[in-house]
Chains A and B, each alone.
Chain A
Amino acid sequence: METTNLNKSIKSKNEKYKFRPKKGLIGWVFVLLSVILICLFYFYPMLQALLLSFQSGAGVNLEFVGIENYTRLFSDPTFLAALFNTVIYFLIQVPVMIIIALMFSVMLNNKKLKFRGLFRTAIFLPAVTSLVAYSVIFKYLFSNNGIINTILTNLSLISEPILWMSDPFWAKIVIILAITWRWVGYNMIFYLSALQNVDESIYEAARMDGASAFQQFFKITIPMLKPIILFTSITSTIGTLQLFDEPMNITGGGPGNATLTISQYIYNLSFEYTPDFGYASAVSFAIVVMIVFFSIIQFKLAGDKK
């Protein structure tokens, strides 16, 4: 009894930082290992990458070249192609995926819907596959004489096979379709669990006032889910800007460089071509800048809409 009172008095003094200040050191013992490991395997290599990006040369024969690597970026057609592809994937795939996932979650949130659990499991199922495994499956599904072309031809939707893998436009579409297939269900689960916390009476009141399904979606659902939409859009952004497994295993970056991503280009520069670690590091900072840039924009957008 006495201890609880004592606790209360300590709590009221300093609600936020309530645990015994004299135990300060032991707290650091708990976090020390993590701090060391994150510094060693994230911040230190990041610093190394920054230093490397001002050097150039094949393999280990590096010399300091100043900002030459960064100026080279702007006249490197392969980098510009990879940048363009990555931005296209991001701009198309992330919004499309989030809208589809939101749509499914609203449909599945209806308690009167039959087979809810079945639909939910089926749509979530792609999220259990490994990125490499599903990429290889998609490669064969969408090969020029693959099953997708056969099905589309049999349904008379197309008269001749679409050259999914050898047409620059369709190859990008395959990558976008693949990522969307993999991640819609995953994101849907986040929205679904957030929707379950939304009070049903809000919708009832809106319906009484004659709000249409669309109005309910845009005026109630989206504002209510804003924090979680922001969370999923930032994680998707970080994921898409780093895209590697899919183009590597579905198209190999081709045809030409039509589906090449920045991550894949960095990999090629470092481990496929004559290694140029310095230039590869400069390219990698392009992703860093983009992640920071797009994340800030999304925070701003989410803030302004309120």
Chain B
Amino acid sequence: MNNFKQISIYIILIGASIISVFPFFFMIVSSTNKSVDVSGGKLIPGTNLLTNIQNLLSTVDIGQALLNSAIIAITTTVLALLVASLAGYGFEIYRSRAKDIVFNILLLSMMIPFAALMVPLFRMFGTISEIAPIIGIDTLASVVIPTITTAFLIFFFRQNTKMFPKELLEAGRIDGVSELGLFFRIYIPTMKTTYAAAAIITFMSSWNNYLWPLVVLQTPKNQTIPLLISSLGSSYSPDYGVIMLAIVIATLPTALIFFFLQKYFVAGMMGSIK
């Protein structure tokens, strides 16, 4: 009986692992095959990778899309970390009843679905376009600006600040460090792990963001990676090999982050529920 239970657990886990990994296998193998082989169900690596690379580069400007996505994701991450950690620190270190109320109101914004915001935001950026076109509709800045601040990230930093040794601040104050200096010279260097975890969460969600860029970006020159994949995927005569190659390229950065920074990745997920 016990043996039977053991074996069935292994069978379930092996089955689950195969199902989880199969789409990755399919994507990687298909990127080396001709379109007709992919749709024919070929599941062994082929020799068409170089042709697929050439075809991909000649149909779409994936380099530009990678660059756009990288600019957006990196800018968002840097600004989001700064703004949210300042707030998370402020709410926890200078805790007061009034600030707790404000904090709870900010948390309510997590319940607001983006679908409800996109029309007003689109109109807002339409107005901005008339005053300052460089941050208006169809600019990379317009993708970044509304996604910088999330209540989640403020919450994340506040939760992690609870574990920050506050004696360090007292020591700094005695040494005459200013309140802002305490944050930049003591808090930030001490909280490297928290920043790393927050950077991963923010970078991933920015890199993968689809709906807002879809609404606000219009010209192909400004396309991000998800927009490019989506438009390749909905083309009328899709070249499956080429599309799968594009998806491999799009997945690579986040997959690498996961494999090399797994510790921070999980810390980032868990940091929100401490």
Contacts and interface: CB of A to CB of B under 8 A. Distances in A.
Interface string A138-149: 111101011100
Given A48-B120, A263-B113, A128 B269 contact: no
A74 interface: no
B115 A104 contact: no
Interface string A97-135: 000000010011010010000110011111011111111
Instruction: Determine the main DSSP class of B at the interface with A.
Output: helix
Interface in A233-259: 238, 241-242, 244-245, 248-249, 252
Contact of A238 (B113, B145, B229, B234): B113
A157 interface: no
B119 A242 contact: no
Nearest to A47: B120
Interface stretch (A63-71, A88-96, A168-176, A282-290): A282-290
A130 B207 contact: yes
Given A140-B38, A140-B240, A285-B116, A34 B20 contact: no
A269 B243 CA distance: 29
A196 B70 CA distance: 36
B247 interface: yes
A3 interface: yes
Interface string B252-274: 00110110000000100110010
Contact of A46 (B116, B123, B251): B116
A34 B21 contact: no
Q: Which 3 A-B pairs have the closest CB atoms?
A: A27-B94, A30-B90, A284-B116
B96 interface: yes
A33 B113 contact: no
A107 B118 contact: no
Contacts of B143: none
Contact of A263 (B99, B115, B240, B250): B115
Given A26-B179, A181-B20, A136 B233 contact: yes
Given A31-B102, A125-B21, A244-B115, A132 B226 contact: yes
Interface of B: 5, 9, 12-14, 16-17, 19-21, 23-24, 26-27, 38-39, 41, 43, 83-84, 86-87, 89-91, 93-97, 99, 102-103, 106, 109-124, 145-146, 148-149, 151, 154, 170, 174, 179-180, 183, 204, 207-208, 210-211, 214-215, 225-226, 229-230, 232-234, 240, 243-244, 247, 250-251, 254-255, 257-258, 266, 269-270, 273
A306 interface: no
Interface of A: 3, 7, 16-19, 21, 23-24, 26-31, 33-35, 37-38, 41-46, 48-49, 52, 104, 107-108, 110, 113, 118-119, 122-126, 128-141, 143, 145-147, 150, 181, 185-186, 189-190, 193, 213, 228, 231, 238, 241-242, 244-245, 248-249, 252, 262-263, 266-267, 270-271, 277, 280-281, 284-285, 287-288, 291-292, 295
A231 B116 contact: no
Given A34-B87, A132-B208, A281 B254 contact: no
A42 B254 contact: no
A153 to B, nearest CB: 10
Given A270-B122, A281-B119, A130 B254 contact: yes
Contacts of A135: 233
A244 B229 CA distance: 15
Nearest to A130: B208
30 contacts: A16-B95, A17-B97, A30-B183, A35-B87, A37-B149, A38-B151, A48-B124, A108-B13, A123-B17, A125-B21, A128-B204, A128-B254, A128-B257, A130-B226, A132-B210, A133-B226, A133-B250, A136-B229, A137-B23, A143-B39, A181-B20, A186-B269, A228-B273, A238-B113, A241-B113, A245-B211, A266-B119, A267-B214, A270-B119, A280-B119
A189 B272 CA distance: 13
Nearest to B149: A37
A35 B102 contact: yes
A104 B211 contact: no
